Amino acid sequence: MSTFPDYATLQVALHGAHVLQVTLHRPDVLNALGTQMGHDLLDLWRRIDAVPGELRCVVLTGSGERAFCAGGDLKERNGMTVDAWRAQHELFERAFMAQMECQLPIIAAVNGVAYGGGCEIVAACDFVYAAAAARFALTEVKLGIMPGGGGTQNLARAVGERRAKELILTGRAFSAEEAHAWGLVNRVCGDVADLMAQVLATAQAIAANAPLSVRQAKRSIHYGLQADLLTGYRFEIEAYNRLVNTEDRLEGVRAFNEKRPPQWKGR
């Protein structure tokens, strides 16, 4: 797998050989997104994408039971010059894009509040599980700014244009159950322990599948939805054909016929 430095704002831990749990870890400020976390997240996503090694799935959560991420660190931003603000935001932009471009599936495990940039980190994941007490909001218009971490794009794609406009333009908070009903959240769990148990079980189920197949399927969905149907289907076929001449394709068919679990090699 990729090797990681000792991040100041993140904790990383393996669950088995193939699942990586990443925890946003600034509990004293509800895991708020500051400059150092921006650097750490950008480095993390780039390392995972460049050299995934044995990794097959990532679970992203927050430290503690109160917050996934409370959004941008407004104490750090207080008094920032315009140039410093823009430089920090460019860093955040690169981190968000690296997350969205990561070849491995990323599951958000929302353990508490996910506001502002925290909600955008959630929306940039491939899919989302949430504790029952979790709450979400994109509150930027209350601060004289607007979502700038993909929020206007990813939320609208998840919940639809009209719902996204309502939530972003009012800046109001919404519950895990509402997020589930509208399409942002895939599953509402109980407490944080139940959330993590269910998320890790799903991550392990993904990790048990052929890794190249999972990555190609993710790419096909992600990029295909940005095109018309026929162009998306052409992309799907290109992604499919890259799997035909792989050892894993041969192993999958062989294991099925031999009635045994496949041994994936990722090649």
Fold match, 10-207 / 211-258: no
Domain ranges of the chain: 10-207, 211-258
Q: Please tell me the predicted confidence (pLDDT) of residue 46.
A: 97
Record the tokens describing residue 265, joined without a space: 């090699």
| Burial tier of 78 (Cβ tally within 10 Å: 0-12, 13-18, 19+) | exposed
Given 54, 76, 120, 251, the catalytic residue: 120
- For residue 133, what is the enclosing H or E element? none
Q: Look up 120 and say whether it is catalytic.
A: yes
Burial 12-36 (b: 16+ CB within 10 A, else e): beeeeebbbbbbbbbeebbbbbbbb
Among candidates 261, 92, 126, 89, which has minimal Cα distance to 203? 126
Quick one: pLDDT at residue 244?
95
Q: Does domain 10-207 match CATH 3.90.226.10?
A: yes
Which one of 140, 166, 177, 247 is the catalytic residue?
Answer: 140
Active site residue 238: no
Partners of 107 in the beta sheet?
A: 59, 127
Pick the CATH number of 211-258 from 1.10.390.10, 3.40.50.300, 1.10.10.10, 1.10.12.10: 1.10.12.10
Question: What confidence score (pLDDT) does residue 3 get?
Answer: 81
pLDDT (0 to 100) of residue 2 = 61
Which residue ranges in the chain fall short of pLDDT 50?
Answer: 1
If DSSP codes are grouped into helix, strand and coil, which group holds residue 187? strand
pLDDT in tens, 40-62: 999 999 999 999 999 999 999 99
10 Å CB burial of residue 186 (0-12, 13-18, 19+) is middle
Question: Phi then psi for 33, rounded to 5 degrees?
Answer: -85, 110
pLDDT at residue 168, rounded to an integer: 98
118 CB-contact burial (10 Å; exposed 0-12 / middle 13-18 / buried 19+): buried
* CA trace torsion 197, 198, 204, 206 (10° rounding): -160
* Residue from 187, 166, 168, 167 nearest 176 by CA: 187
Q: Which amino acid is at 67?
A: A
pTM of the model: 0.95
